[in-house]
Amino acid sequence: QAVVTQEPSLTVSPGGTVTLTCGSSTGTVTSGHYPYWFQQKPGQAPRTLISSTNNKHSWTPARFSGSLLGGKAALTLSGAQPEDEAEYYCILSYSGDREVFGGGTKLTVL
């Protein structure tokens, strides 16, 4: 089974920019992996930020964006706010429609 890798932790300054990545042990991540990005705060259910690489939802703050970068899926936060401190997960779809989550990135805004 494929392994999906994320940075375990990242720190960003308020107002700063940070990029979280999502890689695959099978090679380059493409749009065909339909990467999704989720935000989870303590004690809460996950919330979807980005669907299928770069599609935002009505509730997704404009400061979040999704892309493919350097063979990985990427979530970029531009203009970090204190409320963005959370755990962020990506998920990739593989052939046969099995899916694998990354281990999550704990983002600190400090």
Tokens 């493919």 locate to 68
| Cβ neighbours of residue 49 closer than 8 Å, sequence gap 6 or more | 37, 38, 39, 56, 57, 60, 64, 66, 75, 88
Q: Which stretch binds other proteins (CB under 8 A): 9-17, 22-30, 65-73, 93-101?
A: 93-101
63 near other proteins (CB under 8 A):
no
Q: Which stretch binds other proteins (CB under 8 A): 10-18, 19-27, 76-84, 96-104?
A: 96-104
Tokens 């494929």 locate to 2
Other Cβ atoms closer than 10 A to 74: 22
Q: Which stretch binds other proteins (CB under 8 A): 20-28, 63-71, 78-86, 89-97?
A: 89-97
End-to-end CA distance of the chain: 36
Task: Specify the residue, 79 or 93, whose C-beta has the smaller distance to other proteins.
Answer: 93
Q: Give the footprint of other proteins on this chain (CB under 8 A).
A: 1, 36, 38, 40, 45-48, 51, 57, 87, 89, 91, 96-104
